[in-house]
Amino acid sequence: MAFNNFLARRAGHASTSGAAAKASSLSVRQRLELLEVYEDADLGWFWATDAADAFTYLSPGAAKTLGGDEEFAGKAVGEVFDMQAAARDEAQRSLPFMLRARNSFNRFPVRILKAGPPVWWEISARPCYDAGGTFQGYRGSAKDITLDRLEKEEATRLVRFDVLTGLVNRRTITERLEQALILTRTQKRPCALIMLDLDRFKHINDTLGHQAGDALLLQVAQRLRQIVGDQGEIGRLGGDEFQILLPDCEDRGLLGSLAQRCIQIISQPYLVEGSRATVGASAGIAVAPFDGDGADALTAATDLALYAAKAAGRGQFRFYSSELKSDAELRREVEENLRDAIASDELTMFYQPIVDLRSNKVSCFEALLRWNRPHAGFISPAIFIPVAEDTGMIAELGRAALMQACRDAAAWPAHIKVAVNVSAIQFADDDFPLRVREALDESGLHPARLELEITESVFLGDVEVAEHMLRRLKKLGVRLALDDFGTGYSSLSYLSNAPYDKIKIDQSFVRGATAPDNNNRAILKAIIDLAGSLGMDTVAEGAEAHDELELVRSLGASHAQGFIYARAEAQADVLSRLAEGRDVYEPSGPAYFRADRMTVIRKVGVVHENHRYDAFMRNLSRTGARIEGLLDVPVGTQVVVDLGDGQLAVAVVRRSQEAELGVEFETPLVSDGAGGLCTRYRVSPYALHAASNAAIPLRHSDPADRGVTDAFAPHSKFVQVELNWSKYLK
């Protein structure tokens, strides 16, 4: 009778008389009984407050949901209801506002302040006043809507989140991207987008099943959360594609490091459905507003960058650049012409020597496929091999290359072997050992003279299946080499079971190993010692300078391969050399390798004060560049080097001789993911547009003026030299 007693106390005992008063009393009593039954049946709850917003009544059933029969009379509303939760959640006015304004409210959701899982009520109430118009408090009803709320949240989650991984889905990450880009346009705040794609994930589904694939994707999502943390938001676009949104981020040094860490961590082995599996990852990066200020444009830019990373060999990252559009067009052209090239024998084999470091004699030639396209010249394997893999032509291409290499090697002296690269797609073909046997039988080449170079990417997927394939190949009598060792996913674990004869140490460990404070020397020694203990040969790849060559020789490497000995040669040149008995390759190259400097051939702009000069950059390092085109610039002059695409590097002239400058950058450059260098920050297109008239380009005078032009602008400080660009581009 709690509610009855409460109302009776509030109603008082004012005297009445006559039949009308008696009838009214009966009516009130019946209503009280009905409300009491309603409350006792727990069909709904009632609550009331005084003028100070303190509870004067709360239904016993409601009190029980809050932890028992605690007396709530006298408790403030703010001690029971979260006064802000509904406003945050429902984008409406808060409960405190409505209470202060003495507003009525209906079906207002509030979260209850209590420990444990969240509890939500839906409350309705209206203010009550006495006969004099004085506020007396609120009278209202309530009901528990926790289950309804959970169902609503789950429905929202299904619409906005990926069911498998719990990450936001494509729709949500796109909305968040569009919101971030509004700030880019209105407040000039940058925004970065990283697109991640798993390498050879399909192989997991094909070999271990879709359930195992789902389990692996869940683990990938967990690893990404640990890496990214609160730096950005991760979304799963579907399949094996993920996207990372990083607001207020434009530092390409940080972005490259983050992408590289994602690739490295994702590429570590997984345990799924009781099997050990490995996948790789590639990443594309774009930054607004530099690479696009709309969601579609920025996403398209990351797609192009991601494709460039995959085309370069996977397991890498790339930043978007304007050059990628022409690269994509080239890829389409290559795809259209590659099949005809295979049929018309435009693809030929070249051979690069692998030299025994004890004698400098060639012990093996690596077969390298080359495409000499009529009227277009040589097409890089870095371009057409990924196209062949993506279009399914790699099986035909690889089979033809293997057959030709065996035929060519059969014409060499019997002690010289041939090494043939095997793509992961070829390796995954269950009939691949049959293709190898066919090539050996048709050419007559002894199996021990054939080396199959296999990268660690073959272990992406089911490791046991890969190891079984290696054992099948080994039974044929061929030799097996682990290529690009040290750049893969879990190198040491593969050596314990796989029957390799040779380890090829990736060139990234050889180059720069002689530099002070470089860890590559210790890594090289560890790899060489490990291979020696396992009875394997070692090949140091990419040797270009004498100091590198002497280092790997002193550490005990058995073989070396690189430009210091020779570039790849055609079969006719190989046969001619061997026929003359010239199987010794004397090393020829620079004494020391300049690890931080790379040769470049490109136009740049040099800005000094209010003038812009055309110049020509010959080499580039993280800390400086060699530039030609300005005459007699004083040492110590501060300039800005325009590297293109908004890349402006502040620099100081440290060396000046006639028209050649050596400049030192104020801020070191960072890796662009493609073996090149780029500035950490770029000048946004908004700023470039605003400053478009700040630097006045020089105009050239009569070409007959002995190659030197005067500045058209009246106050230019330097003379610009007319350069013959074609001379440098040959």
Enter the CATH code of domain 337-498+562-578. Answer: 3.20.20.450
SS3 state at 239: coil
Q: Which two tokens stand for residue 214?
A: 């789902």
Q: How far is 402 from 34, CA to CA, in rounded Å? A: 92
Enter the CATH code of domain 597-729. Answer: 2.40.10
Positions of the chain with pLDDT under 50: 8, 11-21, 23, 91, 490, 693-714, 725-730
Domain ranges of the chain: 42-151, 161-321, 337-498+562-578, 597-729
Nearest to 196 by CA among 173, 171, 166: 173
DSSP state of 680: S
Q: How far is 586 from 549, CA to CA, in rounded Å? A: 12
Angle at 448 between CA 447 and CA 452, to 5 degrees: 80
Q: Whose structure tokens read 């008696």?
A: 22
Q: Which CATH superfamily is domain 161-321 in?
A: Reverse transcriptase/Diguanylate cyclase domain (3.30.70.270)
Around Cβ 587, how many Cβ atoms within 10 Å?
A: 19
Q: How far is 416 from 362, CA to CA, in rounded Å? A: 7
Torsion of CA 110, 111, 114, 118, to 10 degrees: 150
pTM: 0.62
Sequence-distant (≥ 6) Cβ neighbours of residue 291 within 8 angstroms: 297, 298, 301, 320
Nearest to 308 by CA among 690, 639, 672: 672
SS3 state at 39: helix
- Name the residue type at position 422: V
Q: Which two tokens stand for residue 705?
A: 């003026």
First-to-final CA distance of the chain? 102
Report how far apart, in Å, the C-alpha atoms of 561 and of each of 6, 401, 638 are: 95, 21, 43
Report how far apart, in Å, the C-alpha atoms of 296 and of each of 185, 352, 408, 624 are: 15, 45, 50, 36
Q: Does domain 42-151 have CATH number 3.30.450.20?
A: yes
Q: How far is 352 from 652, CA to CA, in rounded Å? A: 42
Around Cβ 300, how many Cβ atoms within 10 Å?
A: 16
Q: Which two tokens stand for residue 525?
A: 């020694």
Rg (CA), the chain: 37
Q: How far is 144 from 119, CA to CA, in rounded Å? A: 8
Q: How far is 72 from 90, CA to CA, in rounded Å? A: 27
Predicted confidence at residue 488, as pLDDT, reads 54
- Name the residue type at position 528: I
Helices (H), 101-242: 146-160, 170-187, 201-208, 210-228
Bridge partner residues of 613 (DSSP): 606
Predicted confidence at residue 17, as pLDDT, reads 40
Q: Whose structure tokens read 């050879």?
A: 200
What sign has the CA pseudo-torsion 328, 330, 336, 342?
Answer: negative
Bridge partner residues of 655 (DSSP): 662
- How many CA atoms are closer than 13 Å to the CA of 337, on its beta-carbon side? 17
**Helix H or strand E segment including 290:** none
**Helix H or strand E segment including 565:** none
Q: How far is 240 from 167, CA to CA, in rounded Å? A: 13
Predicted confidence at residue 13, as pLDDT, reads 41
**Is there a contact between 243 and 237 (Cβ–Cβ < 8 Å)?**
yes
Report how far apart, in Å, the C-alpha atoms of 89 and of each of 109, 115, 160, 229, 269 are: 9, 19, 16, 24, 41
| Cis, peptide link before residue 289, omega less than 30° from 0 | yes
Sequence-distant (≥ 6) Cβ neighbours of residue 31 within 8 angstroms: none
What sign has the CA pseudo-torsion 418, 400, 478, 208?
Answer: positive
Tell me the backbone φ, ψ of residue 182, rounded to 5 degrees: -65, -40
**Is there a contact between 143 and 121 (Cβ–Cβ < 8 Å)?**
yes
Q: How far is 158 from 144, CA to CA, in rounded Å? A: 23
Q: How far is 361 from 355, CA to CA, in rounded Å? A: 5
Sequence-distant (≥ 6) Cβ neighbours of residue 386 within 8 angstroms: 310, 311, 312, 313
With b for 16 or more beta-carbon neighbours within 10 A and e for fewer, the 395-431 pattern comes to: bebbbbbbbbbbbbbbebeeebbbbbbbbbbbbbbee
Q: How far is 285 from 403, CA to CA, in rounded Å? A: 40
